């Protein structure tokens, strides 16, 4: 009896990995999905926090894709292991702090470990030659296969016909003729393929699926590392970079000021970890103080926070300051004027 072959598909939640998985499923291969959570995934976070994003579908697209395909999805927490990828990427960063090539090698390597542990036969990804400048080029694809250790167990169904045959093709587990030959940045072939496969709803994240490709997020990460004097982070650090207005008026501290109610509620959860403040005489946002702060700095910080509340034009406002141990006091400050908030303070 012919052995039922099994493949694990790297599912990002986007269209390409969905089509790649579907292509292989149509050849009678048992497919399960795997999704890696690095801490920088765009999925879910900001719309869970910010009121303005509430209109977007409040779903995890990787889970949604798996459900549409009718396959299991294994979500793997790689937060700790991913640190070494981001902090010291062998192949360097892309346009921002995105170590795309190292990231892909890392994820395919994790998938390789997974198929060994779970008795699966090969790995599939939705990669397309020429789609991404750093990791999805014809010259980089063999690097991913080799350095991940996956070698010829890594099959890219979307562009397989433009690449050397892999073991699943050589062994006849899949029919190479039924694989695809897509290249380039155009999305048209994928849209046509989706239509042929009866897929009419899919996620198209405009800014990609990783915060590290975002210019503003990357600037905040660099600021975090510079202020610490080392390239280290914990999960809470990188979560907080996604939330609020970040203002560093002095090298020794930064303010994280909520921009709306949802962010304020999220920042409330960090009041035991940071000194926090908000205006008590007028409506105003919650702010966290990240860093070591002197008594003089505290008044300075309060005058900045006051600028972002309803009392911004008042002569004096009351600012409630809460220490990490919960003790509270109220200080009076004059809000800074708009022109006194230096542009370069904004991280």
Q: Report the nearest approach of other proteins to the CB of residue 44 (Å).
A: 4
- The one among 28, 92, 184, 269 contacting other proteins by CB under 8 A: 269
Site for other proteins in 222-241 (CB under 8 A): 239
Q: Which is nearer to other proteins, 43 or 169 (CB)?
A: 43
Beta-carbon contacts of residue 205 (< 8 Å; ≥ 6 apart): 13, 14, 42, 61
For other proteins, the binding residues in 40-59 under the rule CB under 8 A are 41, 43-45, 47-49, 58-59
Q: Which is nearer to other proteins, 75 or 293 (CB)?
A: 75
Q: What are phi and psi of 145, to 5 degrees?
A: -60, -45
217 interacts with other proteins by CB under 8 A: no
For other proteins, the closer of residues 24 and 238 by Cβ is: 238
Nearer to other proteins among residue 238 and residue 321 (C-beta): 238
How far is residue 50's CA from residue 47's CA, in Å, rounded to a whole number? 5
Does 72 participate in binding other proteins (rule CB under 8 A)?
yes
- Compose the 121-160 pattern: x for residues touching other proteins by CB under 8 A, - for all others: ----------------------------------------
Is residue 210 close enough to count as binding other proteins by CB under 8 A?
no
Binding-site ranges for other proteins (CB under 8 A): 35, 37, 41, 43-45, 47-49, 58-60, 62-64, 66-67, 70-77, 239, 265, 269
């Amino acid at each position: 009896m012919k052995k039922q072959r099994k493949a694990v598909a790297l599912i990002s939640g986007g269209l390409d990995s969905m089509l790649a998985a579907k292509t292989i499923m149509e050849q009678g291969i048992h497919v399960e999905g795997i999704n890696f959570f690095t801490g920088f995934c765009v999925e879910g976070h900001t719309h869970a926090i910010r009121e303005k994003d509430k209109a977007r579908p409040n779903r995890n697209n990787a889970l949604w894709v798996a459900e549409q395909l009718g396959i299991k999805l294994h979500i793997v927490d790689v937060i700790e292991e991913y640190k070494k990828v981001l902090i010291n990427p062998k192949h360097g960063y892309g346009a921002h702090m995105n170590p795309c090539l190292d990231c892909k090698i890392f994820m395919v390597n994790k998938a390789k470990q997974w198929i060994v542990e779970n008795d699966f036969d090969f790995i599939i990804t939705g990669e397309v030659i020429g789609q991404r400048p750093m990791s999805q080029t014809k010259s980089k694809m063999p690097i991913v296969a080799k350095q991940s250790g996956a070698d010829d167990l890594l099959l890219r169904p979307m562009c397989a016909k433009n690449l050397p045959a892999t073991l699943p093709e050589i062994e006849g587990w899949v029919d190479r003729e039924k694989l695809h030959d897509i290249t380039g940045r155009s999305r048209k072939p994928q849209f046509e393929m989706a239509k042929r496969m009866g897929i009419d709803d899919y996620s198209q994240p405009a800014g990609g699926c990783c915060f590290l490709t975002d210019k503003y997020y990357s600037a905040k990460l660099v600021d975090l590392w510079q202020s610490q004097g080392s390239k280290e982070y914990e999960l809470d650090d990188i979560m907080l970079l996604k939330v609020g207005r970040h203002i560093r008026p002095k090298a020794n501290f930064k303010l994280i000021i909520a921009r709306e109610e949802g962010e304020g509620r999220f920042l409330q959860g960090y009041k035991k970890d940071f000194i926090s403040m908000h205006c008590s005489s007028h409506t105003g946002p919650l702010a966290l103080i990240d860093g070591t702060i002197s008594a003089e700095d505290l008044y300075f910080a309060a005058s900045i926070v006051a600028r972002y509340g309803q009392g911004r034009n008042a002569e004096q406002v009351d600012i409630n300051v809460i220490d990490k141990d919960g003790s509270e006091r109220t200080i009076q400050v004059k809000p800074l004027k708009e022109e006194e908030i230096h542009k370069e303070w904004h991280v």
